[in-house]
Amino acid sequence: MNNLFKYILFGFMALIFATGDISAQGKKTTRLQVEYYKNHDKMEMLIATLIAKERRYVPLAGAMIRFYSVNDTSKALLEELVTNDEGKVVLKINDNSKIFYDPSGIMTFEVEYGGNSSYKSVQRQISVKRANLDVFFFQKDSIKSIEVNASEIGPDNLITPIQGLHVRFYIKGTFSLLDIGKEKTDQYGNARIDFPVYMPGDTAGVIKIVVKIEDDDDYGTIESRGEINWGIPVKVIKKERRGLGDTDAPLWMVYTLIILLSAVWFHYLYVIYMIIKIKLAR
């Protein structure tokens, strides 16, 4: 399962304890969770998840969610989107000219579900600073290491290193990310871990490394990726065998069967030939 998902769930937990009681009008309680996520293509997005209390909390699909950018004085509508079956809605926010920045470069968003006759309205605010995360690989003799650089993007694209940020290192698996380490960035915004030994890669030995800042109070979730052929190449056996469990039978079995059957049927044919000869010899 996606780790992202896990964090959304932690968000739920926070919400479960944060939101008020059942409304007096008998409308169903709704909860909204908002996350800022910057993926490895440097695409920034806001992910909002809406759940409603039926018997238990379930995702609310088809609900209209409004996204605003706010500052001290103004509020600008960015987009209106409808939640999918998982109650989720995703808004891309790259290069959106409507977004307000405060003097220190902080963006503040307000996300809102208006509610209707059955569900209560709900609102969330989120503030983030924009940051970059970059991954590098180093090899010195037999020591292989992965390094990450984290930097803040201030106003006018001024870049400054971030110190003391928790960065997590993962190897991308089929279903999930395999945690291979956690490190704090130093004063230059760098964090480094050793590459694990005997790690299988794909057929060419390539391993996908994912580094993440996860659900940071200031920077949200930022992800970066890199590929390196440090893995042990996996031998993928092309299965064209002939065996008991395969589509094709072992050859000896085929031959034995053919020999046995043809021996018997040859005699049958010979006997039928004898019968024909009886007929002809009258």
46 near other proteins, rule: CB under 8 A: no
Contact segment (CB under 8 A) with other proteins among 52-60, 139-147, 157-165, 181-189 equals 52-60
* Binding string, residues 198-227; x marks residues near other proteins by CB under 8 A: xxx-xx-------------------x----
Q: Which is nearer to other proteins, 141 or 268 (CB)?
A: 268
What's phi and psi for 154, nearest 5 deg? -85, -170
**Tokens standing for 282?**
């009258």
Q: Which of residues 135-194 bind other proteins (CB under 8 A)?
A: 171, 173-179
Q: Which of 133, 163, 179, 137 is nearest to 40 (CA)?
A: 133
Q: Which is nearer to other proteins, 102 or 246 (CB)?
A: 246
Contact segment (CB under 8 A) with other proteins among 69-77, 116-124, 134-142, 147-155 equals 116-124
59 has which bridge partners? Answer: 51
22 near other proteins, rule: CB under 8 A: no
61 near other proteins, rule: CB under 8 A: yes
Of the candidate residues 47, 93, 150, 165, the single one contacting other proteins (CB under 8 A): 47
Contact segment (CB under 8 A) with other proteins among 82-90, 135-143, 147-155, 158-166 equals 82-90
Nearest distance from residue 151's CB to other proteins, in Å? Answer: 20
Q: Which letter, b or e, does each residue of 33-61 get, where b requires 16 or more Cβ atoms within 10 Å of its Cβ?
A: bbbbbbeeeeebbbbbbbbbbeeebeebe
Number of Cβ within a 10 Å radius of residue 102: 13
131-to-28, 109, 162, 170 alpha-carbon distances in Å? 38, 17, 9, 20
95 near other proteins, rule: CB under 8 A: no
Nearest distance from residue 254's CB to other proteins, in Å? Answer: 7
259 near other proteins, rule: CB under 8 A: no
Nearest distance from residue 199's CB to other proteins, in Å? Answer: 7
Q: Which is nearer to other proteins, 54 or 217 (CB)?
A: 54
Nearest distance from residue 73's CB to other proteins, in Å? Answer: 32
Amino acid at the residue 17: F
Of the candidate residues 41, 102, 186, 218, the single one contacting other proteins (CB under 8 A): 41
- List, in sequence order, the alpha helices (H) in the chain: 3-18, 251-280
Q: Assess contact for 84 and 61: CB atoms under 8 A.
A: yes
37 near other proteins, rule: CB under 8 A: yes
Q: Is 28 exposed, middle or buried (0-12, 13-18, 19+ CB in 10 A)?
A: middle
Of the candidate residues 32, 44, 68, 88, the single one contacting other proteins (CB under 8 A): 88
Q: Which is nearer to other proteins, 30 or 149 (CB)?
A: 30
Q: Which letter, b or e, does each residue of 271-281 get, where b requires 16 or more Cβ atoms within 10 Å of its Cβ?
A: eeeeeeeeeee
Nearest distance from residue 218's CB to other proteins, in Å? Answer: 20
Provide the CA 233 distance to its chain's centre, in angstroms. 24
DSSP conformation letters of 55-118: SSEEE--S-EEEEEEE-SS-EEEEEEEE--TTSEEEEE-TT-TT----TT-EEEEEEEE---SS
